[in-house]
Chain A
Amino acid sequence: MIRVAWLVARKDLRIEARSRVLLWQVVPFGAMALLLSGLALGPAHAGDSSAGPGLFYLVVLFVALLMINRSQVIESTPGTRASVATLGLDPAGVFLGKALALAIELWVTGLVLLAGTVLVLHTALHGAILALPSVLVTLAGLACAGTLYGALTAGGEGASTLLPVLCLPAFAPLLIAGERSFSAALGHGGLWEWWVIVLVALVAYGGVGILLYGVLEES
């Protein structure tokens, strides 16, 4: 399972490195969204760092939906599913590989957005650094949940519009816990309890994905 996961993750990351969709489309979109949200706050609140965590995760949500869709489009290219089935790859390994690749891509984007919240939304730098571990774990949780729900919608009609409807309720606990732990790192509340929630959500979505991804891939 680990070997297959590593194989699939390398494949997805190699495709990303060649196509550069993340670099030229997703990251600029995220940065623009962050900038616009800062503008939307208006002069009265533009320097209010307490809005930073919420806006950060709102933009992360938009970016994650784009990247999950992209991750599933890669699987939908002609011959890919048939090849995976023919090779008899462990579905759990495929799930973990795709989730790992998506997590790495989200981490890269997340780091850029985190820097953006410090620069544009005046979030305290030391708070952002303290929040980094919880941000990485939250994004990994989003990657696991997104890979699972992406597989549910892959190849269907209106997959790109269906994905947000299905993902949002699943993402809600991760986004809330992620935002609260980011706020806690900035000095508003207890950090430890939100960390635990994020970790449990990551384990939960990872575990459910390992159990059910194979069922979704059978067709």
Chain B
Amino acid sequence: MIRQLYQRLLGPVTLVLLALTIWLGVWVTPPDKVQGNLVRLLYVHPAIAWVALYVSFGTATIASALYLWRRTRSWVADRVAHCAMEVSVVFIILTLITGSIWGRPTWGVWWAWDARLTSTAILGVLALGYLALRRANDDPTLRAKRSAVFAILAAINVPIIHFSVQWWKTLHQGATVFTSNRTLLVHGSMAWTLLISFVGFTLLFFWLLRARYRLEVARERVERATLDAALSQRQREGAL
């Protein structure tokens, strides 16, 4: 029953939170002392980046690790890894786009080859590589295994991205939320709106993941049915 409730409420709650984020971000929260109204991208870009790097890529990595470990190996884990990685590609691309839109008026450039941006772009290439690798193998077991290994190798990039602003001097700002001394560097209503945006976009990821997973299950069912029909046809032809 809880599962049904979750499935029914996930979509509406996500939409409400995202609508609330937009309303608060555009009309209620004040402009920033330095950035003025450019700060309103604060309620979009960091949340999307959080989902891209940690939630979606993290889900794909954990599911891949679960698949590789014999005790937890299952097709569910493989499907979750694949679907999460597809959603991750979308969020990584959105991270780079929203970042560029924010960077142009604030930094003065659309793009800079600093450690944070470069490593994020590399993560995008790795995620696309994962999807390309999945299409290269027809054998489901081989495909699942190789993709899982590749996802785990690719995940090495995530802590590099996270710590890049601490390890190196970058044009990209340092952490606002996950600072090393756990101080939140955003104040008042901006902080609350930021939190709501994080929750909203995280739920959006799970909503998209669930939809993609159901699509994948349906696709496999159709594929099996097609194969069964083709085999039956061949058997009938053989019997004649």
* Chain A contact residues, CB within 8 Å of chain B: 148, 152-153, 155-159, 162, 165-166, 168-170, 172, 208, 212, 215-216, 218-219
Contact = CB atoms under 8 A, between A and B. Distances in A.
B136 A158 contact: yes
A165 B125 contact: yes
Contacts of A156: 133, 136-137, 146
Contacts of A218: 145
Q: Which label, helix, strand, loop or mixed, suits the secondary structure of the B interface? A: helix
A42 B137 CA distance: 44
B145 A166 contact: no
Contact of B136 (A162, A168, A170, A172): A162
Contacts of B122: 169, 172
A165 B139 contact: no
Interface residues of B, number: 23
Given A157-B135, A166-B129, 14 more contacts: A152-B133, A152-B150, A153-B133, A156-B146, A157-B137, A157-B138, A158-B136, A162-B132, A162-B133, A165-B125, A169-B129, A169-B157, A172-B122, A215-B149
A212 B152 CA distance: 10
Given A152-B150, A216-B146, A166 B139 contact: no
A144 to B, nearest CB: 13
Task: Give 3 closest A-B pairs by Cβ, nearest first.
Answer: A156-B136, A156-B137, A166-B129
Contacts of B128: 165
Contacts of A170: 153
Nearest to B157: A169
Nearest to B131: A165
B106 interface: no
B136 A153 contact: yes
B76 interface: no
B38 interface: no
5 contacts: A156-B137, A169-B154, A170-B153, A216-B146, A219-B145
Nearest to B122: A169
